[in-house]
């Protein structure tokens, strides 16, 4: 997961297929969502999968075997499975081998992108202390070896205006200011206007600050983000002893290539494709077993079990995305490629996204497409609420509490919804703090994050909750089987169709990724 993701959807569940012939109409959601039953899949026509039975076939044990292998892969490859590494290649080979044994034909979908290679990212004091910093997006490089100058601190620690620097000797210094009140761009502009030759903005909460100036040319001096404790230590050195600082932040851009892994069922009408995806890459800092080995493993086990279904109404396509942690690059390139091929996006009935579904201090989150809890900062395509209803309907019918998470577009469903494809997804939490209300619903510990090992070396197999996987895996399986049966509530398409496989399976071209290939790219903030 490249950024804090919280998402949800809702609507009416067209039908829940429970047993071989009965339709279960779920109760109204705990959020007070009413609505009567829709029309279930046509049992008299087509090939209806017993969705409840299929949900039982996708087990925690099966998912866990995949997670164990991903852990072994990380252990053998410098402790991570990040894009452009041997760990990612080995992860992809494992997914491909597993799918091929199940009977799928797999495809590597390549894409190219510009990747930022960090050459330097440090702040050093003349007292010998060296701190890690992050060069802000759109900030210029420092000269090789960095900028060396006395440090300065504004009278108002946030340094937002010229008044903040009144009475302070700023010319020829490296300004050190706190996050807060105004944007990073305003801080940089104010400090540079006062004469600073470099700017460091330290966080006002724990953790290193990943920021952006918002556009090219805002500042002509190096600007970096720093950790709260590090920034406070540097400020103390400046105030107490007039410390001299060296700010060295440099990167270069090179062209790189990565790939997605794609597979789809042999059965099902190809003009109505149900698609599911999870990003396969992790961050360089650790094994990435919750983020996002958990989503990848659930998706893989669903695919393996679905291959045993010889007849389906709709084709189901699975994607393991590459370079998500570098800025949603793989999924974006894929959707852009389809958008350039006439009718290809129209074949996708809906998309389900799985990103972090095994958080140790979990919530059971569903993307809030109907905006019943969170106003969406993006346009929600029609059909998304109905897609969500398949997931929430399962939870309601099985007595499982759930909560909305913001439909923000900040995961691999972003490109789909930007191109009008309905979407939904599941999420068990990242770096948000768990509330007492969430503890009452799901257990766990209030006052700490949903995943205390988010984007860290501690995101290993021990960081994944078996309980969360045991809740999420059957939900994904049920939704997959239900949508393979019938998407009429989403797009009006029901049954196997008259023409059968009239288009043939999608074949990849050569995608081009967009955006910075930078591990912190999706964590960027403007203020």
- List, by residue number, the catalytic residues: 324
Question: Can you read off the two tokens belonging to residue 247?
Answer: 């700010």
SS3 289: helix
State the DSSP H helix or E strand holding residue 522, giving kind and residue range, or none if neither: none
Taking residue 343's Cβ as centre, other Cβ atoms within 10 Å add up to 9
The DSSP code for 292 is: I
SS3 content of the chain, % helix, strand, coil (to 5): 30, 25, 45
Report the C-alpha gap between 73 and 263 in whole angstroms: 22
SS3 470: helix
SS3 164: helix
Handedness of CA 434, 435, 436, 441 (dihedral sign): negative
3-state secondary structure 392-440: HHHHHHCCCCCEEECCCCCCCCHHHHHCCCCEEEEECCCCCECCHHHHH
Handedness of CA 42, 48, 50, 55 (dihedral sign): negative
State the DSSP H helix or E strand holding residue 278, giving kind and residue range, or none if neither: strand 269-279
The answer to whether 246 and 92 have CB atoms below 8 angstroms apart is no
Q: Beta strand pairing status for 244-264 and 147-152?
A: antiparallel
The answer to whether 303 and 260 have CB atoms below 8 angstroms apart is no
Sorted by sequence, the CB contacts under 8 Å of residue 440 that are 6+ apart come out as: none
Report the C-alpha gap between 32 and 18 in whole angstroms: 23
By CB atoms closer than 10 A (0-12, 13-18, 19+), residue 2 is: buried
By CB atoms closer than 10 A (0-12, 13-18, 19+), residue 73 is: buried
């Amino acid at each position: 997961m490249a950024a804090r993701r919280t998402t949800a959807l809702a609507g009416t569940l067209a039908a829940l297929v429970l047993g071989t012939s009965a339709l279960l109409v779920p109760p109204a959601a705990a959020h007070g969502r009413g609505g009567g039953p829709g029309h279930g899949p046509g049992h008299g026509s087509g090939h209806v999968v017993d969705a409840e039975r299929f949900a039982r076939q996708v087990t925690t044990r099966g998912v866990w075997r995949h997670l164990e292998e991903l852990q072994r892969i990380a252990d053998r490859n410098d402790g991570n499975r990040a894009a452009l590494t041997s760990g990612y290649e080995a992860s992809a080979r494992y997914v491909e081998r597993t799918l091929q044994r199940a009977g799928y034909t797999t495809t590597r979908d390549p894409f190219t992108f510009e990747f930022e290679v960090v050459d330097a990212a440090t702040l050093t004091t003349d007292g010998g202390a060296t701190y890690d910093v992050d060069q802000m997006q759109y900030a210029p490089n420092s000269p090789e070896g960095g900028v060396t100058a006395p440090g300065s601190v504004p009278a108002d620690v946030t340094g937002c205006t010229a008044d903040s620097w009144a009475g302070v000797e700023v010319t020829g210094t490296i300004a050190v200011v706190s996050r807060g009140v105004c944007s990073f761009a305003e801080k940089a502009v104010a400090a540079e206007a006062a004469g600073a030759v470099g700017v460091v903005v330290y966080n006002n909460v724990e953790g290193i600050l990943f920021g952006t100036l918002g556009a090219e040319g805002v500042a002509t001096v190096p600007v970096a983000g720093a950790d709260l404790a590090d920034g406070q230590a540097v400020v103390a050195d400046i105030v107490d002893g007039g410390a001299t600082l060296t700010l060295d932040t440099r990167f270069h851009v090179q062209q790189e290539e990565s790939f997605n892994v794609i597979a789809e069922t042999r059965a099902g009408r190809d003009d109505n494709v149900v698609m599911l995806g999870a990003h396969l890459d992790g961050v360089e800092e650790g094994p990435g077993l919750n983020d996002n080995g958990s989503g990848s493993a659930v998706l893989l086990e669903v695919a393996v079990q679905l291959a045993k279904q010889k007849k389906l109404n709709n084709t189901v396509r699975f994607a393991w995305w590459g370079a998500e942690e570098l800025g949603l690059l793989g999924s974006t390139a894929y959707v852009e490629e389809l958008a350039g091929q006439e009718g290809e996006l129209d074949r996708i009935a809906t998309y389900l996204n799985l990103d972090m579904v095994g958080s140790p201090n979990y919530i059971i989150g569903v993307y809030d497409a109907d905006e019943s809890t969170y106003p969406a900062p993006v346009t929600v395509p029609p059909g998304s609420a109905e897609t969500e209803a398949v997931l929430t309907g399962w939870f309601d019918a099985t007595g499982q509490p759930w909560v909305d998470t913001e439909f923000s577009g900040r995961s691999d469903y972003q490109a789909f919804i930007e191109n009008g494809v309905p979407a939904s997804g599941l999420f068990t939490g990242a770096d948000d703090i768990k509330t007492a209300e969430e503890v009452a619903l799901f257990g766990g510990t209030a006052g700490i994050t949903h995943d205390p090992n988010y984007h860290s070396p501690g995101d290993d197999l021990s960081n994944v909750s078996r309980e969360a996987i045991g809740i999420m895996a059957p939900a994904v399986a049920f939704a997959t089987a239900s949508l393979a049966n019938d998407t009429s509530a989403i797009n009006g398409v029901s049954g196997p169709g008259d023409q059968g496989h009239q288009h043939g399976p999608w074949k990849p071209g050569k995608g081009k990724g967009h955006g910075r290939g930078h591990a912190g790219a999706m964590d960027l903030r403007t203020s």
